[in-house]
Amino acid sequence: MKLAQRAGSGPCYCFRKSSRTCFLGSAGSRTPRSSTWRRPNNVQLLKVLHQPVPTSLSLSSSLTRMETTETSLDSPGGEKRTRPDEELGPPVKRPRVQDEEGENGQGASQAVLDFEGNDQEECEEEELVEGEEDVEGDGETFADMMKHGLTELDVGILKFVSDHKGFSGILKERYSDFVVHEINKEGKIVRLDDLSVPVEEDLPAEPVEVQVLTEEQKKQLEELQLFKNKEGNVAIEVLEDTKEKRTVLHKAVKTTYPGLETKTEERDGRKFIVAYHAAGRRALAAPRKHSWPKSRGSFCHFVLYKENKDTMDAINVLSKFLRMRPNVFSYMGTKDKRAITVQEIAVLKISAERLAHLNKCLVNFKLGNFSYKKHPLKLGELQGNHFTVVIRNISGTEEQVDQAMTSLRDTGFINYYGMQRFGTTAVPTYQVGRAILKNNWTEVMDLILKPRPGAEKGYLVRCREEWARSQDPEAALKKLPVKRCVEGQLLRGLSKYGKKNIVTAFGLIPRNNRLMYIHSYQSYVWNAMVSQRIQDFGLKAVPGDLVLSGGKARVLSEQDAENHTIHDVVMPLPGFDVIYPTHHVGQAYRDMLASDGLDIDNMRHKIRDYSLTGAYRRIIIRPQDVSWWVIHYDDPRIPLVHTDVEKLEDKPPPVFQKEGKYRALRMEFSLPPSTYATMAIREVLKMDTSIKNQTQLNTTWLN
């Protein structure tokens, strides 16, 4: 099969900032380039990939976004309905095959949710501060500031596998245009289709009331339960005061009105049962103990449907309402924000009744399909994710669409790490990772804290300026209202341990965030080497390639190569426990790391956390369950996907016309863990997915 090159007529990607949607498509008519493409030799490729890349937006925002299902080619919209973004790369100690990430481009550890000992009030305060200031610049346009950003070329994303012509379209015009359903470890697509609470045989199905509540008391309890008066309470006088009857009344109120807690108070010689909301500030700091039947599994598993919220934010919201720490929740993978996502969650000793009550309190969330089990969920246990993606206002003909989607189904796409792996602009995260691996801690500190050109929150600009001026961590820290960002954590460490103890200070950054840097470097190397492998050998297995056999990698002989396809071939992420191809791409690995000052034969670090074992990753992914339709519509505001919640509410599915003002491509496909839906869409539309390219093409298009 002929490989597609980056030709002048090749499709590109455009970001329409004014409408806050993503415009994907061919920019050949807007930004003409030479159609002649020369294959670079090894030295040229390494020179291109190792050029220092200045960048723009804040490192803290890049870290929070870089590791969260797909995709970060989006922007918020004004949709009232109820999005996923990337993965935490291979753990330092992990199985050889890289298929255990939490998600398609997203598997950050649950430990991140635990606030590293910070309380929830601090978290709430930060959320308020985040919106205080957006971007600060000296009269530059957004496009001017983004000139310092990364492109796909900068992170080794160079090739396509098909030769079809790309076409334009709008991705995530509405966040409901991107729907993700988790595929559990049994291979079943997780769906929300039951909101009922399971009835247990050895538990009473109906609550037992010791006394009849008045209508006024019921109304007050309902309002308190629905969080309308979260700081209030409802006092119920005990008419027949015995311990047994008070106990039954406590249980009755908490069972009938999940989300409420009760306590007994004595007022003027009379006993009262006082009900209050568990999430109110006047509630006890520690959660009240709830009785838990011995015959019931310790974990309540449920399906979480969420709209426009990432998994970590969702867990924090649930934990706040339940007055529990976030680490009592477990899940198999994290999901993007700007999408509708459906996934399985498990929580320790929280009843289905209490969880179901949250459906009355929360917007853009739905919890259901409850069951009790003896085990939590673990990151990476999922088999993948099923995507339903709508690309609106497409320009491609029916023939172009069919050719592109048939290629995706039959051949697949290059399994690149997506742009979000390397941060949303700012200092490229792989540069920080490279400095860590080189044990150059002064450079690590400088890359994170130094001023940089481009768009950035105002308080971060002032913090960096203060650091550059005074080199005083305490003075710079005072400029930060948000102390838990990466810069704040590092400055706090420098203030506590001194600038001569950068390693210890850097350790105050949560472990998973620190590891993201070195995993980003591994991903950068992998992308570059896979581009060279595809460029030099095409889409066939060749002698010297690696394949997995019994969980271990082995080198293909000339005879073996004839019995394998490109879909069997893997490439290593650099580390001390992997082997490399024996053809010249193996030497290219060695040359690339050597040019970065690293020894490929010595990937163990003085600090154990930063030692890289390495892993293997398939170079071509062929999606499963691929299907597609071209939809005609007139109203750009109408939803084009029938969601799980709409089905539960018996809302009719969208009706598609035979003819319409606009056309959309609706595609469905399933991907294994640790793969990026953005890279699949990139192959279909032939686009550059970088923010830099989006804004540059947008400026050209608007002018």
Residues labelled as active-site residues: 336
Strands 233-237, 615-618: parallel, antiparallel or unpaired by DSSP? Answer: unpaired
In the beta sheet, which residues pair with residue 663? 632
Written as six digits, the tokens of 482 are 């948000």
Q: What secondary structure, in 3-state letters, does 478-491 show?
A: CCCCCCCCHHHHHH
Question: What is the total residue count of the chain?
Answer: 703
296/344 Cα distance (integer angstroms): 19
DSSP designation for 117: G
Instruction: Please report where in the chains the tokens 């390219």 appear, as a residue.
Output: 693
Written as six digits, the tokens of 139 are 């009269």
The C-alpha torsion from 152 through 153 and 157 to 162, rounded to 10°, is 100
Edge-first strand listing for the sheet containing 546-549: 552-555, 546-549, 569-573, 615-618
- Going from the C-alpha of 130 to that of each of 86, 134, 415, 493, the distances in angstroms are 22, 8, 34, 22
Instruction: Please report where in the chains the tokens 């008045």 appear, as a residue.
Output: 214
* Residue 269: other Cβ atoms inside 10 A: 5
Query: What would you report as the CA-atom Rg of the chain, rounded to the nearest whole angstrom?
Result: 27
Q: What secondary structure, in 3-state letters, does 289-340 show?
A: CCCCCCCCCCEEEEEEEEECCCHHHHHHHHHHHHCCCHHHEEECCCCCCCCE
Asked if residue 392 lies in contact with residue 634, where contact means CB atoms within 8 angstroms, the answer is: no
Written as six digits, the tokens of 79 are 């949709």
The sign of the dihedral angle between the CA atoms of 326, 331, 334, 337 is: negative
Asked if residue 175 lies in contact with residue 308, where contact means CB atoms within 8 angstroms, the answer is: yes
675/420 Cα distance (integer angstroms): 12
326/323 Cα distance (integer angstroms): 9
602/605 Cα distance (integer angstroms): 8
Strands 552-555, 662-671: parallel, antiparallel or unpaired by DSSP? Answer: unpaired
What DSSP letter does each residue of 383-431 carry, written as one string?
Answer: -EEEEEEEEES----HHHHHHHHHHHHHT-EE-PPPGGGG-SSSS-HHH
394/168 Cα distance (integer angstroms): 5
Asked if residue 196 lies in contact with residue 101, where contact means CB atoms within 8 angstroms, the answer is: no
In 3D, which of 641, 455, 637, 698 has the Cα closest to residue 83?
641
Residue 515 CA to its chain's centroid (Å) = 16
Which amino acid belongs to residue 1? M
**What's the half-sphere exposure (Cβ side, CA atoms, 13 Å) at 601?**
1
Residue ranges in 257-387 assigned as alpha helix (H): 311-322, 352-361
Quote helix, strand, coil % in the chain, to nearest 5.
35, 20, 45
251/234 Cα distance (integer angstroms): 15
